[in-house]
Structure 1
Amino acid sequence: MMIHKTLLHLAALGLLALANGAVAAVCASDAARLGSSLTPMGAEKAANADGSIPAWSPQPSSAGRVDERGFLSDPYAGEKPLFTITAQNLAQYQSKLAPGQVAMLQRYPDTFKMPVYPSHRGATVPDEVFAAIKDNATQARLVSDGNGLSGFRSAVPFPIPQNGLEAVWNHITRYRGGSVKRWVTQATPQANGAYSLVSLYEEFVFRDKMKDFDPAHPGNVLVYFKQSVTAPARLAGNVLLVHETLDQVAEPRSAWLYNAGQRRVRRAPQAAYDSPGTAADGLRTSDNLDLFNGAPDRYDWALVGKQEMYIAANSHRLDSPSLKYADIIKPGHINQDLTRYELRRVWHVVATLKPGQRHIYAKRDFYFDEDTWQAAVIDHYDGRGQLWRVAEAHALNYYNVQVPWYALETLYDLQSGRYVALGMKNEEKQAYVFGFSASTSEFTPAALRQEGVR
């Protein structure tokens, strides 16, 4: 009851502030709860009433082994499922599932299952990131009708969110190691399970990790992102460059595409919102990457509250280099025998398309893990109000570098029976490389041509 009263109070404050054109930061006394009753990320530090969700216990960097390619061992490899949710026992657990998870169990009653393991809340980030988050709590504000930020440092501007917009900004800006190089694979299986693979090389750098970043003149670019297709041969050499801005009303996202066949660089203003995602056969939009990215301006955002829910977590098994992609990709959905679900607390946020705006998704239901602000599940509804696509992220703690992120993103199309699996690296030569050094000159249109060599 206390949680619901607090949420109603925060929602009222958030609506009042939005009506006045900006959202005030929380007061110092509220911010003081970070690191005491709340984790430094803003989650409830304590266990739930029956202990099925444990207290937050940061996972040490020595939690497991790191092999020569950078892959992590599974600290919980010896654990067995407590139980498995199936279509047959769905009614027993439905109150702690998202509608999209229920729909997947019902659409694939013989194969889709959710093995539930003991919960471990070990996700953490470096101390300096926690310090920045605490500063954000009293300094960060929404501007430009919620489509930009001011007074923001590094990651998670609103650890104690007052409305849905603040919650989604926490996901957009969450800590992902500052900078990362990654070699990943995407599959878009047919309904019968047949698939081909697309290989991608990506570089992702937050502005404050650039060698030439000037804190006195930070500019409006939040993230620099570069994505190169390396296979199959017909697509190899194409490169997408994105400058993701902090205030997307003042300056929208800038994007450029190098086409290897034409050997030309051109602006790509369509690389946003509901434009088709890279080599995804029309099965995901540009803003489906990372489950959600980009400007939030086309939706109204409502903070529904916090609830307990079964979400994919500590997905080390799914990320194992001992697996082949064929072990993971199956008809209709990934191999659920390789998944791991845990009971967690999540923030529920509903995004509804604004009148006069256009997007293929008329509504999206977001469920954010309280410990990381990562989206765990997003349900997507079409213009008729029908549940259409279900996004589910299989979270992973890169404990060696204190980075929470995903082992695999999935987006299931309930209508076609097809899906996208993005982020697999099991067969790659190495895992993610965090903390690499870069300069802004490497993320310019002029630098694209040399990136796009077949």
Structure 2
Amino acid sequence: MRKTIAVLALSLLAAHVTAAVSPQEAAQLGTTLTPVGAEKAGNADGSIPAWTGGIPKNAGVVDSKGFLADPFASEKPLFVITAATVDKYKDKLSDGQVAMFKRYPETYKIPVYPSHRTVNLPPDIYESIKRSALNVKTINDGNGLENFTGNRYYAFPIPKTGVEVLWNHITRYHGGNLRRIITQATPQTNGSYTPIRFEEEVAVPQAIPDMDPAKAANVLSFFKQSVTAPARLAGNVLLVHETLDQVKEPRLAWIYNAGQRRVRRAPQVSYDGPGTASDGLRTTDNFDMFSGAPDRYDWKLVGKKEMYIPYNSYKLDSPSLKYDDIIKAGHINQDLTRYELHRVWEVVGTVKPSERHVYAKRHMYIDEDSWQVALVDHYDGRGQLWRVAEGHAQFYYDHQVPAYTVETLYDLIAGRYIALGMKNEEKRSFVFGFAAKAADYTPAALRSEGVR
């Protein structure tokens, strides 16, 4: 009898851990919390303002190419953190940021500007977030989602665990179907680089009218990436079906190799497999700061803290810049960056004893207003700080979409880095809401995408 009671108690505890929040908790969304679950109030000294609805869709001029004017172009830094002053501010910096000052004491800096809580989302996304709060649960030890239906965004706006915070980043709003042309650079230690140009699409099942619901039941998104430069890589195409529960159904990936003129399954496009044309400087799950399955790590929720994170990076996205203006030896041109004080969720991922990954630990900081990962410190198997990631965020106010201007990943040991997402020299900025067809995201469609 005692054994039965104990088992029942454990079952009830497990149900509580994975349960959606109560209606009383969900009622905080839009009242004491913002509609996405951030604290609505500012901080004690006012250096983080209260959220008052974000900035309007007409906050700045949008040029003919879709690039956004900087709403804060007239602002000057409040102060600039340098190697000489970093100790004064390190309580609001990650260990990785502090390490960057030590690695590049003459050139690395953090210009800190006034904080602006710019993010807001369309009304239907807010509705889906409240539905998620009331219904979504984790399954398979936190590695899958249950009752995540309709517009599948922000699974846990009032998170209780580290993996739930991570799921909010994974399931955040990208503007529906997104198309972009971007450039990646992997500079040598002297700053020389060869631009890698990608044409990419992200499509979500709910925005593909002819998508078979049964086939998309466990699909979060479809991703297609074509390499168009340099010539030696041009024509290679990657297709990914990103699944919700990758333990139950692993991510599906295919590559069309232009040289072989063949489509092959690509199981290596996951976890710590090498990133596309990255020269070994990032893993597959470094893409989008973190992507893919969370199952190889135990995720500990440390709590919230105030940090200086890259934010409102409109200057860095200016079409008046060339890539040479951005890419410098050791790190990107920090004079073009903007950091602000914001509250972040702090989560630490530690590889499970039964699993393996080149990153034994990932110390992550996630912006409360957008649920985007802002900073990540990556540690190797010896416990040594290895790579430092910064996501330079920009809010696309005209479409109400938070995104990244540039993702950087710095290798402290090699003295090299990768910068992904630049589009300053392109003819178009991001294209949101394009019309997608189910047939575009099948292996059979890859061959026609390849260009030789």
User: TM-score if structure 2 supplies the norm length?
Assistant: 0.95
Q: Which amino acid aligns with 1:129?
A: I
Match of 1:99 among 95, 99, 102: 95
Q: Which amino acid aligns with 2:351?
A: L
Report the counterpart of residue 238 of structure 2 in structure 1. Answer: 240
Match of 1:44 among 39, 46, 51: 39
Residues in 2 aligned to 1:161 and 1:276: alpha-carbon distance in whole angstroms: 31
Report the counterpart of residue 133 of structure 1 in structure 2. Answer: 129
Matched, 1:73 2:66: no
Residues in 2 aligned to 1:134 and 1:29: alpha-carbon distance in whole angstroms: 12
Residues in 2 aligned to 1:358 and 1:250: alpha-carbon distance in whole angstroms: 19
Matched, 1:198 2:181: no
Residues in 2 aligned to 1:385 and 1:406: alpha-carbon distance in whole angstroms: 29
SS at match of 2:393: strand
Residues in 2 aligned to 1:206 and 1:291: alpha-carbon distance in whole angstroms: 19
Residues in 2 aligned to 1:303 and 1:127: alpha-carbon distance in whole angstroms: 29
Deviations 1:279-334 (A, max 9, x none): 00000000000000000000000000000000000000000000000000000000
Superposition pairs of residues 270-419 of structure 1, within 5 angstroms: 270-419=268-417
Residues in 2 aligned to 1:416 and 1:249: alpha-carbon distance in whole angstroms: 34
Match of 1:451 among 432, 449, 452: 449
Match of 2:436 among 435, 438, 443: 438
Aligned residues: 440
Conserved in 2, the CA contact under 8 Å of 1:183 and 1:200? yes
Shift of 1:22: 6.2
Report the counterpart of residue 268 of structure 1 in structure 2. Answer: 266
Distance 1:198 1:152, change over 3 A: same
Conserved in 2, the CA contact under 8 Å of 1:21 and 1:143? no
Deviations 1:366-415 (A, max 9, x none): 10000000000000000000000000000000000000010000000000
Distance 1:17 1:436, change over 3 A: farther
Q: Which amino acid aligns with 2:74?
A: G
Report the counterpart of residue 9 of structure 1 in structure 2. Answer: none
Q: Which amino acid aligns with 2:109?
A: K
Residues in 2 aligned to 1:264 and 1:216: alpha-carbon distance in whole angstroms: 28
Report the counterpart of residue 26 of structure 1 in structure 2. Answer: 21
Residues in 2 aligned to 1:106 and 1:117: alpha-carbon distance in whole angstroms: 22
Residues in 1 aligned to 2:291 and 2:153: alpha-carbon distance in whole angstroms: 15
Residues in 1 aligned to 2:226 and 2:213: alpha-carbon distance in whole angstroms: 29
Residues in 2 aligned to 1:451 and 1:193: alpha-carbon distance in whole angstroms: 32
User: TM-score if structure 1 supplies the norm length?
Assistant: 0.95
CA RMSD across the alignment: 1.4
Report the counterpart of residue 222 of structure 1 in structure 2. Answer: 220
SS at match of 1:131: helix
Conserved in 2, the CA contact under 8 Å of 1:21 and 1:145? no
Q: Which amino acid aligns with 2:48?
A: I
Distance 1:265 1:17, change over 3 A: farther
Report the counterpart of residue 86 of structure 1 in structure 2. Answer: 82
Report the counterpart of residue 3 of structure 1 in structure 2. Answer: none
Report the counterpart of residue 35 of structure 1 in structure 2. Answer: 30
Residues in 2 aligned to 1:113 and 1:416: alpha-carbon distance in whole angstroms: 20
Report the counterpart of residue 48 of structure 2 in structure 1. Answer: 53
Report the counterpart of residue 60 of structure 2 in structure 1. Answer: 64
SS at match of 2:274: coil
Distance 1:16 1:351, change over 3 A: farther
Q: Which amino acid aligns with 1:87?
A: A
Unaligned runs of 5+ in 2: 1-9
Deviations 1:255-278 (A, max 9, x none): 000000000000001100000000
Distance 1:18 1:440, change over 3 A: farther
Report the counterpart of residue 209 of structure 1 in structure 2. Answer: 207
Residues in 1 aligned to 2:60 and 2:441: alpha-carbon distance in whole angstroms: 35
Q: Which amino acid aligns with 1:120?
A: H
Unaligned runs of 5+ in 1: 1-14
Conserved in 2, the CA contact under 8 Å of 1:21 and 1:144? no
Shift of 1:206: 1.5
Shift of 1:213: 3.8
Shift of 1:215: 5.9
Residues in 1 aligned to 2:51 and 2:414: alpha-carbon distance in whole angstroms: 40
Residues in 1 aligned to 2:444 and 2:43: alpha-carbon distance in whole angstroms: 53
Distance 1:16 1:286, change over 3 A: farther
Residues in 1 aligned to 2:215 and 2:318: alpha-carbon distance in whole angstroms: 42
Report the counterpart of residue 156 of structure 1 in structure 2. Answer: 154
Q: Which amino acid aligns with 1:27?
A: S
Shift of 1:210: 1.1
SS at match of 2:141: helix
Matched, 1:122 2:88: no
Matched, 1:143 2:139: yes
